[in-house]
Chain A
Amino acid sequence: AQTVTQSQPEMSVQEAETVTLSCTYDTSENNYYLFWYKQPPSRQMILVIRQEAYKQQNATENRFSVNFQKAAKSFSLKISDSQLGDTAMYFCAFMKLANQAGTALIFGKGTTLSVSS
């Protein structure tokens, strides 16, 4: 069975600084997707970034980028130029592929990020 581990329950950062959230996962699968979702106080789940395991290049979306280390089964999220609106719970999620079809997301327990001015 797949597991996702986020070892940092809480983190804090000052505005404009850079912060990295860590995520490790355990799987015997070779084909899978990884995601970071953000859950602000409104509790709406918002997709931040996605990475396909077959791609060697790390995904980036504006201020958000990942460091995907497949051999180490590590998938960290870097937030550059942090903004107050980045304050939220961040979840790392794993999706295995079965017969080329997607399956359910497996989530870590989350990291609460607080950005202060």
Chain B
Amino acid sequence: NAGVMQNPRHLVRRRGQEARLRCSPMKGHSHVYWYRQLPEEGLKFMVYLQKENIIDESGMPKERFSAEFPKEGPSILRIQQVVRGDSAAYFCASSLFSPNEQFFGPGTRLTVL
């Protein structure tokens, strides 16, 4: 049973470019969460999605960031016009139902030059 998959594992972008981070939840899981981890800090919640719906986006910056979880395919976290401050590790987690423990992917390390 494959775990949560994230790709790419490492992503380098120049300021002003777009970053797309993908997350495939564990098989059968319909709840997806995105978190951001800045250096030397804990994870901070960004957005919670179920299939085709955003349930809670209270942790996501209002501008440049968006997320989706379509009926088919992975969840996507999109960052437009990246800035150096977006450099961080972005983790996706999924759960079978809610509430339940969340299982994390390996993360995507975004570096903005």
Q: A residues bordering B, Cβ < 8 Å?
A: 33, 35, 37, 42-47, 50, 91, 95, 97, 100-110
Contact = CB atoms under 8 A, between A and B. Distances in A.
B104 A45 contact: yes
Nearest to A44: B106
Given A105-B33, A107-B42, A107-B44, 18 more contacts: A33-B99, A33-B101, A42-B106, A44-B104, A44-B107, A45-B91, A45-B107, A47-B101, A47-B103, A50-B101, A91-B43, A100-B99, A102-B31, A102-B99, A103-B48, A104-B45, A104-B59, A107-B35
A106 to B, nearest CB: 7
Given A43-B89, A44-B104, A45-B104, A102 B98 contact: yes
A103 B106 contact: no
SS of A interface (majority) = strand
Contacts of A95: 99
Kindly state the interface size class of chain B when it binds its partner.
Answer: 20 to 34
B33 A104 contact: yes
B interface, by DSSP: helix, strand, loop or mixed? strand
B41 interface: yes
Given A103-B56, A104-B33, A97 B99 contact: yes
9 closest Cβ pairs, A-B complex = A102-B99, A45-B104, A104-B45, A107-B42, A102-B98, A101-B98, A109-B42, A107-B43, A44-B106
Interface string B40-67: 0111110010000000100100000000
A105 B100 contact: no
A105 B99 contact: no
A109 B43 CA distance: 8
B56 A104 contact: yes
Given A103-B48, A104-B45, A104-B56, A43 B99 contact: no
A37 B107 CA distance: 15
B102 interface: yes
Nearest to B9: A43
Interface string B6-44: 000000000000000000000000010101000001111
